[in-house]
Amino acid sequence: MSVHVLEAPAPEAELRPGGRCRLCGAGLEHTFVDLGMSPLCESILTPGQLDAMEPYFPLHALVCETCFLVQLREYVSPQQIFGEYAYFSSYSTSWVAHAKAYCAMIKERLDLGPDSLVIELASNDGYLLQHFLPLGVPVLGIEPAANVARVAIDKGIATQVDFFGTALADALVAKGRRADLIVGNNVLAQVPDLNDFVAGMARLLAPEGVITLEFPHLEHLMAENQFDTIYHEHFSYFSLITIEHLAGRHGLKLIDVDELATHGGSLRVYLAHVGSPRPTTVRVADLLARERRSGLCDLATYGSFAEQVKRTKRKLLAFLIAAKEAGKTICGYGAPGKGNTLLNYCGIGTDFLEFTVDRNPYKHGRFTPGMHIPIHPVGAIDARRPDYVLILPWNLKDEIVQQMRHVADWGGRFIVPIPSVAIIDPKEMQS
C-alpha cells in the first residue's frame, strides 16, 4: 500500500483555531502564507483511486511571534506518513555523494573509530550510514518506514524500525548505547513533537558527543520563493535563531554551523551538551547576526512573504499559458512532494503537463495527488519529445539537466519554476 490511510484531524485540534507553537507553546496568530487546501503531497494515487474522494487539508503556515518557528498544524500523523513511505534517498545521486563527503569529514573531525557509535535518525535506505561501514565506524539507523528500512538492512546496516523520541532514547541508553555522533538529515521538519525529539537526542548523546542536523534554511525559503517546500508532511521551518532557542531548552548548545547548497539552501548545525568543553565557532554568531539583519526576528518580514508567493504563481502560470497558446508540449520531470504543492497551489494539471516522470519505480503507473498527473518512467520523455520539461525537484536541477541534456536533440528546453521562472537550453550549456 503506497497511500496513507486518512483520517480527519483529531477533534482537540479543532478546539484551538490558531493552535499553539510546537516549540515554545505560545499561541499562534500570525499567517506566514496560506496556500489554500491541498491533498497530502506524498499520497500518490493508484489508477483505482482516481475515482474516489480525495481528502484536502489546509496548507496554512503560521509563524510564532515568540520563537519565530514557522509551522503547520499537524493534520496527518507521522504514523500515517511513514507507515509505508515512497521516498528512497538513494535515488538522488547528488544526495548520496553529499552524504559520503559528510561521513569522511565528520569521521576526521570527531576522530571516530571502531569504538565509536554513530546513530542516524530517519536513516532511510542507508544512503548515509553505508559510507561509515568501510571507515570501520559502528552505526545504528533509526527509521520508522519499514519498507525503506528493509533496504538498509539488506545492505548490512543495523537499523531499528521505530519513531525516535525520549522513549526510544531511554531504551537505547538502558542497553548501554550512547552515541558519539547523532545525525539527523531532513528529519526535524517532520517531527510533530519537537521537544520530545530533541530531549531524546540530548539523552542519547554521549557526554562529549556531537549532534549534526541538516534542514532547509528558512532564510532561503523566504529569499528564494521556495513556498513549494511547504507541505503537510513538513511541520516546521527553521532559522538558526529558532534552532538556538530549541537547543537551549534541552541543555544543548550550538557549536558550529555550515551553510550548504542542498535542498535550495540548507544549514548543518552542530550541537553539543551545554557542559561540553567544545568551543563555539564564530560562524554561529555571524549567522545569527545576519538573520537578525534580514529581519528574521521581525514579524513584518514574515508578513511580506505571502504576496511574494502570489507573484511567483502568476509568473509561472503566465509562462505556461503562453507556451500552451503557442502549441508547445510540456512534460514534468520528477514527482517530489514539493512538486505537488506547486502543482496544486498553481492549479497545474494535465491541461499543462501531459505527464511527469520519476526515477523511482514505486511511483510508475500512479498519479500525483490532487492534479492526477500520470507518473511514467524517465524514458517516456524520449518517446514524447516535449518542447519543455518542467523540473519539479528544482533543487536537483543541475543533476537533472546533465542527465537529460539529450532533450536538445529535438530542441527541448527545461523550465525551472523556483525562485522565478527560468528557461535552460541544454544547447547553450554545451557550447
Residues engaged in binding Zn ion (CB under 5 A): 21, 23-24, 26, 64, 66-67, 69
Cβ contacts of 401 within 8 Å, gap of 6 or more: 391, 414, 424, 426, 429
| Distance from C-alpha of 273 to C-alpha of 207, rounded to nearest angstrom | 7
Tell the smallest beta-carbon distance from residue 21 to Zn ion (Å).
3
Tell the smallest beta-carbon distance from residue 286 to Zn ion (Å).
24
Tell the smallest beta-carbon distance from residue 256 to Zn ion (Å).
24
Smaller CB separation from Zn ion, 157 or 243: 243
> What are the two backbone dihedrals, phi and then psi, of residue 374, each rounded to the nearest 5 degrees?
-65, 145
Cβ–Cβ contacts within 10 Å for residue 101, how many? 11
Q: Please, which residues bridge with residue 333 across strands? A: 357, 391
Assigned C-alpha cell, 105? 569529514
Angle of helix 194-204 relative to helix 240-249, nearest 10 degrees? 60
Smaller CB separation from Zn ion, 161 or 299: 299
Smaller CB separation from Zn ion, 63 or 76: 63
Give 252-305 as a DSSP string. EEEEEEEEE-GGGSEEEEEEEETT--PPPPHHHHHHHHHHHHTTTT-HHHHHTH
Cβ contacts of 279 within 8 Å, gap of 6 or more: 255
Smaller CB separation from Zn ion, 66 or 294: 66
Using an 8 Å Cβ cutoff, are 247 and 198 in contact?
A: yes
Smaller CB separation from Zn ion, 24 or 59: 24
Tell the smallest beta-carbon distance from residue 9 to Zn ion (Å).
20
Tell the smallest beta-carbon distance from residue 66 to Zn ion (Å).
5
Query: How far is C-alpha 72 from the chain's CA centre?
Result: 14
Tell the smallest beta-carbon distance from residue 71 to Zn ion (Å).
8
Tell the smallest beta-carbon distance from residue 242 to Zn ion (Å).
8
Smaller CB separation from Zn ion, 194 or 375: 194
Reported as type and span, the H/E element at residue 314 is: helix 305-325
Smaller CB separation from Zn ion, 292 or 311: 292
